[in-house]
Amino acid sequence: MDSVYLRKGYVHMASMKDVAKLAGVSVSTVSRVISNSIPVDEKTREKVERAIEAVNFKPNLLAQGLRSKSGNIIGLIVPEILHESFIYFIKYIERYVSEIGFNLIIGNTSNKPKLESEIIDNMIRRNVDGIIFSRVSDKSKVMRIIEKTDIPVVIIDRALGQEDIPTVVLDNYDAGRLCAEHLVALGHEKFACITGPRDIFLSRDRLRGFVDVLKKNGLGLPESNIFEGDFKFETGKKGMQYFLETGAEFTAIWGQNDLMAIGAMNELVRRGRRIPDDISVVGMDNINAAEMLVPSLTTITQPFEEMARISVDMILKERNGETIPEKRVVLSPGILIRETTSRARIAT
Amino acid sequence: MDSVYLRKGYVHMASMKDVAKLAGVSVSTVSRVISNSIPVDEKTREKVERAIEAVNFKPNLLAQGLRSKSGNIIGLIVPEILHESFIYFIKYIERYVSEIGFNLIIGNTSNKPKLESEIIDNMIRRNVDGIIFSRVSDKSKVMRIIEKTDIPVVIIDRALGQEDIPTVVLDNYDAGRLCAEHLVALGHEKFACITGPRDIFLSRDRLRGFVDVLKKNGLGLPESNIFEGDFKFETGKKGMQYFLETGAEFTAIWGQNDLMAIGAMNELVRRGRRIPDDISVVGMDNINAAEMLVPSLTTITQPFEEMARISVDMILKERNGETIPEKRVVLSPGILIRETTSRARIAT
DNA sequence: TTGTAAGCGTTATCAT
DNA sequence: ATGATAACGCTTACAA
């Protein structure tokens, strides 16, 4: 008799009705005890609380959500769960959201606009209290939500130009600046860079910051020392292959994320170049692998946890009708100096 | 006028009532059109469908869930989101679940029993259709759900002895076997192993499989060549330090997951040992980093996607009252041979 | 085939 | 301070 595998009869999860009956009061009184908003006589409160204990009552969240139009749930939409930096958002947002008594529901768009619509609809149909986008493929979708419903929306990680949507982003210009300053301080004079897609703000901002610092120091980055990647390991390798085959001259390279930087390192090592003795390498994101390599990767860091907290806070503020002082929060990157960067070889 | 930041008036999301009114029918008819369960006149159906289009109606999932006691949502409980192998479960389970029209809600226990209880309760309160556990810290919690509610439960990745709970696991014995066979075939004769916690079935099973093959080949694994780790990078390093300092003799080592194997590699490289010329290394899981290293890591693979699909399918079957043919599904690992393993040096 | 009405488990508005 | 009662948006007997 495999009773485990047979659908057991529905086991009544205690409802307010049960509590009310046991405590000898009405359901409204029970509700009041729980919400703690309206004064209740001490004695009845105690009776009710005992009853709640006795039947192990927990309010049904669907009923609450239906009635109050707030599902106590926040939606997070990412284009790709396994992506090295999104998992940090997932982790920290989940943690923070649950700390404040919400649940997190995750949608993975796989970068398909059609899926994106579906996911958004689904979330709306769950009366989500807000939606956090990590990278938006189609701006209009976000605008539609904002215009047609009252659901708070926050965009994290990738800005959309100067729209009027609450946004939490990294100061990507500063990321490039930090990187260049570190390398220049080490005496490097010739550089290369593997960027993200050039049509993305974030990649361009990073590059601008990088180049500006070089210029300020009388140095520069020739276009032939720039390779456009897609933030994946493979294009990091490809970029380095390209540089090495075209004979580009440089003693330091920046991969605009760790994956590409590691790809570049991989190619260097396979061709017998020494890091950092021949070439210094900097990445960005500080993914797990960065410190597992030999040599360990110097990298630009993002305050993922802070970004997560701020974006959730913004959702809650919007939801409570509070005005958000700054609709565009810009956070600063840091730099973690490890073993892939060292002083440039003395020029001869 | 920052209208975006002011809570806008509630924008009525079309309900069945609206559709019914527009189509000139009752709500029940609308419901029937949607559920497609009960015959509806072709003409009214068309009227209703037009109305649905017109107001862009999507049934509210909370109301549906409340009424039907099925929230159309599946809960996944993991002890740690950022963990290298759980993210694969998250990814694949999310994908599959959403393919079949469900949402996924994720709970992160951080290995805290108290949180575990809370998360389970929360899920129950959302009328989840099932709960998938990836590693359970406290068996009794699972048993409680199974006994006290009718919520389908599946355990994935880590078995709990021989309980009567539907489970999807890897054949860990086979994982050890595969690894040993590969190394023995390469001519290795002395081995070392960095295991997971020895009090976990999975670690012991892997080790048994490994050792059994060695024995079958007239070889062995002395206790002094076994180091107990915790599946993290650091203990991989520590393990190798230990072996090197105690002068353990071996030409091949297995780290029971990639993180530990990579930790061991790290230590080897830092001490000037060559991989695989001096020491061959095998890992397990095939995490991203495995192929990014030089040399790239030979590793035992797990069918994460298949495990995900099967566990979701089991949930659905339980939910539909179907009997599950085998309550314990055991899947086979594979081996991905890359660059960290090579023929043993000829013994002199 | 279709409509009416009760009910899912809450909260909020009335009275009392 | 407390209790009826309606309502949230849907499904499902039961009638018609």
A28 touches strand C (CB under 7 A): yes
A262–B contact, CB cutoff 8 A: yes
The answer to whether the C-beta of A39 is closer than 7 A to strand D is: yes
A322: distance to nearest CA of chain B, Å?
7
**A149 interface with B at CB cutoff 8 Å:** yes
Are the CB atoms for B154 and B307 separated by under 8 Å?
no
Contact A321 B150 (CB under 8 A): no
Non-local CB neighbours of B114 within 8 Å, separated by 6+ positions: none
Are A9 and B270 within 8 A, CB to CB? Answer: no
CA-based R_g, chain B, Å:
26
Within window 43-82 on A, which residues have Cβ closer than 7 Å to strand C? 57-60, 63-64, 66-68
Strand C lies under 7 A from the Cβ of residue B38: yes
- Closest to B94 (Cβ–Cβ): which among A8, A81, A327? A81
**3-state helix/strand/coil string of B214-230:** HHHCCCCCCHHHEEECC
- Domain assignment present for A320: no
CATH code where residue B39 lies = 1.10.260.40
H/E stretch holding B252:
strand B252-255
Instruction: Quickly give A52 CA vs C16 C1' distance in Å.
Output: 26
Asked whether the beta carbons of A231 and A264 are under 8 A apart, the reply is no
Which residue approaches C3 most closely, CA to C1'? Answer: B26
Which residue did the predictor score with more confidence, B341 or B39? B341
Do B201 and B285 belong together in one domain?
A: yes
B157 lies in some domain? yes
Q: Which residue has the higher pLDDT, B76 or A84?
A: B76
**B201 is written with which tokens?**
């079935």
In one letter, which amino acid is A335?
A: I
Contact with chain B for residue A236, Cβ under 8 A? no
> Among residues A68, A85, A108, which one ends one of the domains?
A68
Crossing angle between the packed helical segments B201-216 and B172-185, to the nearest 10 degrees: 30
A95, A10: one domain: no
Contact between A60 and B66 using a beta-carbon 8 Å cutoff: yes
Residue nearest to nucleotide D13 (CA to C1'): B28
Instruction: For residues A78 and A188, state if they share a domain.
Output: no
Residue of B2, B61, B76, B111 to mutate, testing the A interface (most A Cβ within 10 Å of its Cβ): B61
Among B44, B68, B92, the domain boundary falls at B68
CATH of the domain at B149: 3.40.50.2300
pLDDT at A322: 84
One domain, residues B186 and B270: yes
- DSSP alpha helix (H) spans, B233-303: 233-246, 258-270
pLDDT digits 0-9 by tens, B307-321 = 999 999 999 998 888
The answer to whether position B339 is within a domain reads no
Instruction: Give yes or no: residues A123 and A181 share one domain.
Output: no
Beta strands in B40-173 (DSSP E): 73-78, 103-108, 130-134, 153-156, 167-170
- The domain boundary residue, chosen from A68, A96, A120: A68
The helix-helix angle for B113-125 and A61-68 (nearest 10°) equals 60
CB-strand contact A35/D, under 7 Å: no
Q: What is the pLDDT of residues B9-66, one digit of tens each?
A: 445 689 999 999 999 999 999 999 999 888 899 999 999 999 999 999 999 999 999 9
Contact A324, A280 (CB under 8 A): no
Question: Tell me, what's the pLDDT at A346?
Answer: 65
Indicate if B203 and B282 belong to the same structural domain.
yes
- Weakest-pLDDT range from A6-10, B187-191, B267-271: A6-10
Q: How far apart are the first and last CA of chain B?
A: 84
Catalogue the E-assigned strands of chain A. Answer: 73-78, 103-108, 130-134, 153-156, 167-170, 191-195, 226-228, 252-255, 280-284, 298-301, 328-331, 334-336
Report the greatest alpha carbon distance in chain A. 93
List the Cα angle B71/A115/B49 in 5-degree steps: 70
Question: Is there a domain that residue B335 lies in?
Answer: no
> Are residues B185 and B291 located together in one domain of the fold?
yes
| CA gap B23, B38 in Å, rounded | 18
One-character DSSP codes across A32-78: HHHH--S---HHHHHHHHHHHHHHT----HHHHHHHHS--SEEEEEE
Are residue A40 and residue A99 in the same domain, yes or no? no
Chain B residues within an 8 Å CB radius of A106: 90, 94, 104, 106
Does the structure show a pLDDT above 50 at B3? Answer: no
Give residue B77's region: left, alpha or beta (phi > 0; psi -120 to 50): beta
My answer on whether B152 and B108 are in the same domain is yes
Q: Do residues A269 and A240 touch, judged by C-beta distance below 8 A?
A: no
- In degrees, rounded to 5, the angle at the alpha carbon of residue B251 between the alpha carbons of residues A289 and A276 is 35
To the nearest whole angstrom, how far is the Cα of A208 from the nearest Cα of chain B?
Answer: 29
| B261 falls within a domain | yes
pLDDT at A48: 96
Whether A294 sits inside 8 A of B266 (CB atoms) is yes
Phi, psi (degrees; rounded to nearest 5) at B254 = -115, 125
Q: Do A62 and B59 touch (CB under 8 A)?
A: no
pLDDT (0 to 100) of residue A164: 78
Which of B69, B71, B46, B76 lies closest to B60 in space, CA to CA? B71
Range of the domain at B20: 3-68
Would you say residue A309 lies in a domain? no
Cβ atoms < 10 Å from Cβ of A1: 5
B71 has pLDDT over 70: yes
Q: Which residue is nearest to nucleotide C5 (CA to C1')?
A: B28
Distance from C-alpha of A98 to C-alpha of B118, rounded to nearest angstrom: 10
- Measure A59 CA to D2 C1' (Å): 21
The reply to whether A82 and A114 lie within a common domain is yes
CB A317 within 8 A of CB A329: no
Interface check for B105 against chain A (CB to CB < 8 A): the answer is yes
Nearest CA to the C1' of C8 belongs to which residue? B67
Answer whether B157's CB lies under 8 Å from B307's CB. Answer: yes
pLDDT of residue A207: 98
Query: Does the residue A326 lie in any domain?
Result: no
In chain A, residues with a C-beta closer than 8 Å to the C-beta of B233 are 288, 292
Of residues A84, A272, A245, A286, the one with CA closest to residue B294: A272
Per-residue model confidence (pLDDT) at position B306: 97
Q: Is B257 on the interface with A (CB under 8 A)?
A: no
Nearest CB to B103; choose among A58, A122, A324 = A122
**Are residues A219 and A180 part of one domain?**
yes
Instruction: Please give the model's pTM, rounded to 2 decimal places.
Output: 0.91
Chain B contact set for A146 (CB, 8 A): 4
* Triad A180, A184, A189: Cα angle to 5°: 105
What are the tens digits of pLDDT across the range B118-163? 899 999 999 999 999 987 666 666 777 766 778 899 999 876 666 6
Count of all residues that appear for chain A in the document: 348
Gyration radius from chain A CA atoms: 26
* Interatomic distance B67 CA / D7 C1' (Å): 15
Per the structure, the residue whose CA is closest to nucleotide C9 at C1' is A63
Tell whether B15 and B49 lie within a shared domain: yes
HSE of A273, CA atoms in CB hemisphere, 13 A: 19
Distance CA B33, CA B31 (A): 5
Nearest chain B alpha carbon to A328: B5
Question: What is the count of structural domains for chain B?
Answer: 3
B28 in contact with nucleic chain D (CB within 7 A): yes
Nearest CA among B158, B139, B77, B145 for reference residue B318 = B145
Whether the CB of A87 is below 8 Å from some CB of chain B: the reply is yes
**Residue A192 included in any domain:** yes
Rounded distance in angstroms from the CA atom of residue A67 to the C1' atom of nucleotide D7: 8
- By DSSP bridging, strand A334-336 and strand A298-301 are antiparallel
B171, B233 contact by CB (below 8 A):
no
Contact of B224 with chain A, judged by CB distance below 8 Å, is answered with no
The answer to whether the C-beta of A41 is closer than 7 A to strand D is yes
- The rounded distance, in Å, linking the Cα atoms of A83 and A87 is 6
- Provide the 10 A C-beta neighbour count for residue A278: 12
For every one of its 348 residues, what pLDDT tens digit does chain A have, with 9 covering 90 and above? 222 223 344 456 899 999 999 999 999 999 999 998 888 999 999 999 999 999 999 999 999 999 999 999 999 999 999 888 889 999 999 999 999 999 999 999 988 888 888 899 999 999 999 999 987 666 666 777 766 778 899 999 876 666 678 999 999 999 999 999 999 999 999 999 999 999 888 999 999 999 999 999 999 999 999 999 999 999 999 999 999 999 999 999 999 999 999 999 999 999 999 999 999 999 999 999 999 999 999 999 999 999 999 999 999 998 888 888 888 999 999 999 999 999 997 654
